[in-house]
Homo-oligomer: A and B are copies of this chain.
Amino acid sequence: MTPVTKKIGVLGAGQLGRMLAIAGYPLGQKFGFLGASHEEPSALLGHMYTEKDEASSLSELIAFSDVMTYESENTSVELVRKIAETTPVFPAEKSLYYSQHRGREKGMFDSLNIPCAPYQVVDSLESLTQAVDEIGLPAVLKTTTEGYDGKGQFVIKETTQIDQAWKEVGGRELILEGFVDFSRELSIVAVRNVDNQHVYYPLVQNVHHEGILRYTIAPARQISEEVQTQAEQYMKALLDELDHVGVLTLELFETVDGLVANEMAPRVHNSGHWTIEGALTSQFENHIRAITGLPLGDTSPRQEIAAMVNIIGETGPVKDVLTMPKAFLHLYDKAERAGRKLGHINLVADSEDELYQQINQLSAFLPKV
């Protein structure tokens, strides 16, 4: 055991746990995972506690762990509170509590003067109709909890669609969000450690297709210093308000009136995967540093420009990727399934031209538009 060694327990055993472990072992850390089976992406990268007998698996993982973390913003707040009675868990329950409910999250944005779309929580056809009246159309109707990758959403363009929207995603608590006229989707990854050190990655540009992130350009082009600083100020406010420890990600819209917050995730994020080879310290390593009481690493890019291209649904011609000098393959060891994130490819380049040439070579991995 070296002086920095900690045993880290991860709730979940998917690709995020896998990449946390790959980043954490070189720091001397050890990993354990709570997962559904020994086939999960993290299964070979540490002690695996399977959920066949969930209560005892969880107890064993807690007993193993010096500190714990989790993969999903849908992790139970009650569970995290319970674990925290005996074992440190980061991010703490407050980050989860706000992140996993779009209404609470937007309330926090408001209270911190972080611009976001007009919104209203609704729980009936009547309240939805009234909200549409106040917010205007188009607007997006979403579940307040648990939606991701565009699931559980309905874009209402005309009042005639209100009934249909309620039928399709309603019957539970929803949030109606006013439409934001944006030029680009951006995101920022920030990290705070137990000693209150804050670091920020540059804003990146994200391109989605059918609700799923397809690729990220990092840093986003043509971002002024003022806009980067603005994003960092929003993040600092959130990190401090939440007393957040670990990585926090904020998705933003770029509009003519400035940045508008969309949603946050209290975890390492797909739009931060470029940092593995693209930044001096990856988001994964910085999350591990943050939760284990280590100094945070430098977040500067290692090259002019980088990109991350997701591998979705089918593994595709990954051998061809290995012949590209500046491409880095990251597979998650998951079976193919429509819409599933199976891996990603990081790219580094000395110029935008060079980067887009590489992205063009990866057309097999990108949606046909």
Contacts and interface: CB of A to CB of B under 8 A. Distances in A.
Interface of A: 1-5, 18, 22, 25-28, 30-31, 44-47, 280, 289, 294-295, 297-298, 300, 302-303, 315, 318-319, 322-323, 325-326, 328-331, 333, 335, 342-343, 348
Contacts of A18: 25
Nearest to A328: B26
Looking at A31, A47, A294, A335, which has the most chain B CB atoms within 10 Å of its CB? Answer: A294
A319 B331 contact: no
Given A5-B333, A297-B322, A319-B294, A22 B30 contact: no
Contacts of A46: 44
A319 to B, nearest CB: 7
A14 to B, nearest CB: 14
A100 to B, nearest CB: 30
Contact of A333 (B2, B280, B297): B2
B325 A280 contact: yes
A25 B44 CA distance: 9
Contacts of A328: 26
Contacts of A333: 1-2, 5, 25, 28, 30
12 contacts: A2-B315, A2-B318, A2-B342, A4-B315, A4-B318, A5-B333, A27-B329, A28-B329, A295-B322, A298-B325, A302-B302, A302-B303
